[in-house]
Amino acid sequence: MAGQADWWRGAVIYQIYPRSYQDSNGDGVGDLQGITQRLDHIASLGADVIWISPFFTSPMKDFGYDVSNYCDVDPMFGALADFDALVARAHGLGLKVLIDLVLSHTSDQHPWFQQSRQNRSNDKADWFVWADAKPDGTPPNNWLSVFGGSAWAWDGRREQYYLHNFLTSQPDLNLHHAPVQDALLDVARFWLERGVDGFRLDTINFYFADKYLRDNPSLPAGLRNDSIAPKVNPYNHQIHLFSKNQPENLAFLQRFRAVLNPYNAAAVGEVGDAQRGLEIMAEYTSGGDKVQMCYPFEMLQPTRLSAGLLEQTFSRMTAVAPDAWPCWAYSNHDTIRHVTRWGLSDTAAKTYTVLLMCLRGSLCLYQGEELGLPEADIAFEDLQDPYGIQFWPEFKGRDGCRTPMVWVSDNGNGGFSEAKPWLPVTASHLSRSVAAQDQAVDSMLNHYRRALAFRRANKVLRDGDMTEITATGDLVQFMRNGEGAIFCAFNLGEGEVSTTLPTGSWAPVAGALGSSAAVQGKVTLGRWGFCLMQKE
């Protein structure tokens, strides 16, 4: 990685969904001890950092993203001592540890909300976003929930509505109220004192809502996309001008960064916005006094990342966020796995892996991605995700990417658990287990290991500059410059493409990854071929 002070720059971050990584106690649900047992796998992959999705005390209506105690471990995942042991083992393997903080909302079972909803005059009365009904009894404005329907729920005790950008059981905190900010910063300090190296900040652009509760404008049909919510969700019908992305967030992020700095800790913010994601990333990472990285959605969209789309993304980033440090990902716990979403063969998936390793920014890999796992097909009766249950069958939810990790091929649970897993293990995943791929030279797993090793060995790929990306048909090419220079050309299609090397003397690299060599300055790439050349 980069220097110790900016260890996060160019890091490869491996996301762990704890319910589905490894069950150590035979209850069918993954846990912290299970993660600790499997950290050697992540170290052997060559990742620099682990990001653990929420494991805090929770009623699990949204599987941990509804927190009822920020400073303890839910019993299904273990105890604080298990977390301490996990951190110690990770650090012993040279892995940094990020944990997922959900600061925009809590569970409705959190003591803060339980007190807030009692009346309008208690000590926590202003800790959540409450509003009176309109004269006709309807919600105070037209804001919509990401999970469908109104973003407002009625509470009979206060005779007011409360805001919930997600489930009704996830009330939004009121960060306009200074004591709320103070309490959340104390949460960050609690975990930093336990040795974490930073945070992935869930829904970072949802922290503040417009204090005047103004209506969101409508979004013309031609501009709608389903990068944030499925197309069947009316959430896509609005420009979310007032329900998120508020300017007050910048001052809070400065306060948050001031907490991080004494620990040399880092944060990556998830920017969920279909229209202004890159612009928000620029704002939130600007000035060196807010978060270090943001996690935009440009490569998580349903449409395959073609050469043209890649060029457009980086061209737009150059225009609106030239100094921002992105954190790119193809897959995560909220999206259909990219090999299925984009319809990729193993050959194509391997090329996209090398492409990701060559991009400027830090990177996130989602558990099982290194095995080439496709999306699991989950029957309705096995669904756990309330989002999928709400919109079935047009949208099947997020369970298909959350099924258990497959470690071995010779039992039906893939070595994940001795009990029935909380989500079924898909039979087609078993042949792609870690054990099945570990010794196979050309396996997806070993391709990822080689790709990560190549990035780690070339500092210019981790923190160097990148020239403008150019696309011609399926051909995309760019240069990485810094300590050395690497020319990168990728064929993101089935036909043959060709180009020429820049002026100078170039030597082939990454032959073990399958990189083609130039012949007399000319590069010819067959289907899904790529060429990486190092300046001599």
Catalytic residues: 202, 270
By C-alpha distance, which of 206, 271, 216 is closest to 238?
216
Residue type, 42: I
- Measured CA to CA, the distance from residue 363 to residue 49 in angstroms comes to 10
Instruction: Dig out the tokens for 442 from the structure.
Output: 């050309």
Tell me whether strands 152-155 and 49-52 are parallel, antiparallel or unpaired. unpaired
Instruction: Dig out the tokens for 496 from the structure.
Output: 């043959």
Q: What angle do CA 318, 320, 323 make, to 5 degrees?
A: 60
User: CA 38, 39, 41, 42 torsion: positive or negative?
Assistant: positive
Residue type, 372: G
Q: What angle do CA 22, 27, 28 make, to 5 degrees?
A: 55
Reduced to 3 DSSP states, what percent helix, strand and coil does the chain have, rounded to the nearest 5? 30, 20, 50
By C-alpha distance, which of 306, 385, 374, 372 is closest to 337?
374
By C-alpha distance, which of 55, 43, 58 is closest to 17?
55
Residue type, 347: T
- Measured CA to CA, the distance from residue 269 to residue 280 in angstroms comes to 10
Assess contact for 489 and 523: CB atoms under 8 A: yes
Instruction: Dig out the tokens for 89 from the structure.
Output: 């083992």
